Amino acid sequence: MLGTIVNTCTILLGGTFGALIRTGIGEKYKHVLFDGLGLCCLVLGMNAVLPNMPKSEFPVMFILSIVIGGVIGTKLDLSGRIDRLNAKINQRNGNENNALQGLVTGVLLYCIGTFSIVGPVLSFLSPSHGWTFNEPGNTFLYTNATLDLVTSAVLAATYGWIMLLAAPVLFCWQGFFYLIAYLCGDGMPEPMRIELSIVGGVLILSSGISILGIKDIKTVNLLPSLLVPVVFYLIKGSIF
């Protein structure tokens, strides 16, 4: 669990640094950051999807997840709620920065991936359950923390202080998988990890496409898709 705490702190540290230097960054440089962030999302999304597709037990699972999750998200109007809240924030702050969309992108980048999903499980499976700094099981989380330190600085330099809210989300996300490992005893089923990585990769790709202005995809409406593989494997009996 110590690895998760370290990972959370690096996001707070990187986010604080990025938000502090944000006011000194010119508009043309902010545009470069946006473009770079969009391209990184595309690369990271493909990196999550392509290696895991051949390992999938049910190759159509990600399609069903996106369809079911998209219908649920649209029915709940998640994107609309975020847009309305974001408009209120922008009106109050007197800017046009799409802060909440940036927060969603940040959460996806921090939480979706092998390091952030498998890391907490390996941390629990370590002899001391990952509560010492030199625990080998924390290696994934320390690596993830290093990556998130840089990513959080770039995101906060682009979107501002709101990006610090991603830190508690990451803590809860990794804590959830740590809890799964505790309940299962031997960790999270590999098929579930694979399907989550594929669906999450698609969502990161979606964010990248939106950031680059290629198409305005309502990625927020697709977030419930992440629940579909979890519910499927719970029903299938892979965990309990």
In tens, the pLDDT along 128-171 reads 766 676 666 677 788 888 888 888 988 888 888 889 999 999 99
What stretches of the chain show up as alpha helix (H) in DSSP? Answer: 2-22, 27-49, 61-75, 78-93, 99-111, 114-125, 139-159, 166-184, 190-211, 227-236
CA distance 9 to 6: 5
- Predicted TM-score (pTM) of this structure: 0.74
pLDDT of residue 184: 67
DSSP state of 202: H
Judge whether residue 208 has pLDDT over 80: yes
> What 3-state DSSP class applies to 23?
coil
d(C-alpha 102, C-alpha 36), whole Å = 14
pLDDT score, position 104: 84
Residue 120 near residue 178, CB atoms below 8 Å = yes
What is residue 136's predicted lDDT score, i.e. its pLDDT? Answer: 63
Cα 73 to its chain centre, rounded Å, is 17
DSSP state of 192: H
Q: 238, 240, 6, 236: which is closest to 120 by C-alpha?
A: 6
Q: Is residue 109 scored above 70 in pLDDT?
A: yes
